[in-house]
Amino acid sequence: METPDFALLLLLGLGAALLPETFGRSHSLRYFYTGVSRPGSGVSEFTAVGYVDEVQFVRFEGDGGRGRAEPRTPWIRDNEGQEYWDRNTQILKDTAQVFRTNLQTALGYYNQSKEGSHTFQRMYGCQLREDDTPGQGFTQYGYDGRDYIALDKATLSWTAADAGALNTKRKWEADRTIAERDKAYLEDECIEWLRKYVGFGGPSLTRADPPEVEVTRHTGPDGEDVSLRCRALGFYPADIKFKWEREGKDMSQEMEFVGTRPSGDGNFQKWASVNVPRGEEQKYVCVVEHEGLGQPLAVKWVPDASPPIAAIVGAVVVILLVTAAVVGFVIWKRKKSGPKGGNYTPASSDSSIPMKASA
């Protein structure tokens, strides 16, 4: 079931498809709504989250007509008053009711029982390019985590993902004002709000924190398979590129990677790995490109120069055994050659000068 964290991952994935290939700083405003027919423990009936770039700035969780829109960043809390929050709360409460109806309708389209739990989602947003001109806008819907229907702004038509969604397509295309209203919002009002929010966010949205990059070596369960993993940590914005090279040859087609993920502190993390022949690890280099870096960063795996823990422990044990043997030998010699009689004056325990034996 989709959660707010999953929403951010999905937004990141969609953002990668919508943003230009260059690292020029564009901005986006995106919203993700999820309605659940039979929410379980800890899951709300309706959740809405809004993002500027990859920063969540507003959130709403509602059950049975309850809930309020809440700020998630200082810059939105400090710049919008009570009227803004009251208005958005009412809009989202009305949207929650629409989602309840849509869920019941979708159950009928797919001939599903009301006993199970199902989700209905909407994702929409707009973009500003680096030169402050409007970029692509989109609105699309999902059902149970799959594509359902999406707006084609160019033709003001709807693209249905399956037979169930064809029912919605026919209904919405019969009322052309639905597509016209969505297009107008994406190209005008959405852009106006995005510019406003970027102004509120200021440096927190335009910062460029470079990644910390490390390469680690991993072996498979059989001890034979070897892979190198390149990890980038603590970077912002989320756009980043990885490339593995072997002696200058691009090996990116052979690498495995995870999508960019939030690290919990407002920054992001990502890794990419590649399988390598044992003993040839030094021939591989990970190249990372990010806006926060002055130039591409190339990182190799560096073998650990320190001796293994087992070797250190073994050395300590040997030293202790040798020391114990020497001490035992000295004590034995002293006992064997000690005095057997006659006058004897013991040495003073607090004197630093050796005492002479009595005549």
CATH classification of the domain holding 188: 3.30.500.10
Report the CATH number at residue 263.
Answer: 2.60.40.10
The SS3 assignment for 88 reads helix
Residue 304 is predicted with a pLDDT of: 78
Residue 160 is predicted with a pLDDT of: 98
Residue 331 is predicted with a pLDDT of: 58
Of 182, 204, 226, the last residue of a domain is 204
Residue 347 is predicted with a pLDDT of: 37
User: Among 142-146, 181-185, 211-215, 251-255, which is the least confidently predicted range?
Assistant: 251-255
The residue to which tokens 């073994």 are assigned: 314
The residue to which tokens 């999953």 are assigned: 6
Buried b (16+ CB within 10 A) or exposed e, 201-221: beeebeeeebbebebeeeeee
Do 287 and 157 share a structural domain? no
Whether residue 167 lies inside any domain: the answer is yes
Residue 178's CB is within 10 A of a number of other CB atoms, namely: 15
User: Among 181-185, 245-249, 322-326, which is the least confidently predicted range?
Assistant: 322-326
Do 48 and 190 share a structural domain? yes
- Peptide bond between residue 237 and the one before it cis (omega within 30 degrees of 0): yes
- Residue 240 pLDDT > 90: yes
Q: pLDDT tier at 145 (50, 70, 90 boundaries)?
A: very high
Q: Give the strand pairing for 27-36 and 69-71.
A: unpaired
Of 169, 204, 239, the last residue of a domain is 204
* Element spanning 122, H or E: strand 119-128
Q: Give me 348's structure tokens.
A: 């003073």
What's the CA gap between 176 and 170, in Å, rounded? 11
Whether residue 31 lies inside any domain: the answer is yes
What's the CA gap between 57 and 193, in Å, rounded? 13
Burial bucket for residue 268 (CB in 10 Å: 0-12, 13-18, 19+): buried
Kindly give, in sequence order, each residue whose CB lies less than 8 Å from that of residue 331, ignoring residues fewer than 6 positions away. Answer: none
Whether residue 356 lies inside any domain: the answer is no
Type of residue found at 210? P
Do 142 and 40 share a structural domain? yes
Type of residue found at 331? I
Cβ atoms 34, 7 nearer than 8 A: yes
Residue 55's CB is within 10 A of a number of other CB atoms, namely: 20
Do 239 and 259 share a structural domain? yes
pLDDT one-digit tens code per residue, 272-287: 999 999 999 999 999 9
Find the Cα–Cα–Cα–Cα dihedral 276, 282, 284, 285, rounded to 10°.
140
Whether residue 20 lies inside any domain: the answer is no
Q: pLDDT tier at 344 (50, 70, 90 boundaries)?
A: very low
pLDDT one-digit tens code per residue, 82-111: 999 999 999 999 999 999 999 999 999 999
Do 221 and 278 share a structural domain? yes
Do 164 and 103 share a structural domain? yes
Do 225 and 199 share a structural domain? no
Residue 249's CB is within 10 A of a number of other CB atoms, namely: 8
Do 217 and 128 share a structural domain? no
Do 192 and 78 share a structural domain? yes
What's the CA gap between 52 and 277, in Å, rounded? 43
Tell me what the pLDDT averaged over the chain comes to: 83
Do 276 and 159 share a structural domain? no
The SS3 assignment for 359 reads coil
Query: Can you say whether residue 226 is alpha, beta or left, with left for phi > 0 and alpha for psi between -120 and 50 degrees?
Result: beta
Q: What is the mean pLDDT of residues 150-174?
A: 97
Cβ atoms 42, 36 nearer than 8 A: no
Q: What is the pTM of this model?
A: 0.71
End-to-end CA distance of the chain: 98
Total domains in the chain come to 2
Whether residue 129 lies inside any domain: the answer is yes
Do 154 and 66 share a structural domain? yes
pLDDT one-digit tens code per residue, 17-36: 443 333 457 899 999 999 99
* Residues spanned by the domain of 59: 27-204
Whether residue 352 lies inside any domain: the answer is no
- Max avg pLDDT among 232-241, 296-305, 308-317: 232-241
Whether residue 273 lies inside any domain: the answer is yes
Of 300, 323, 345, the last residue of a domain is 300
Do 186 and 59 share a structural domain? yes
The SS3 assignment for 224 reads coil
Residue 320 is predicted with a pLDDT of: 57
User: Among 3-12, 71-80, 205-214, 348-357, which is the least confidently predicted range?
Assistant: 348-357
Whether residue 135 lies inside any domain: the answer is yes
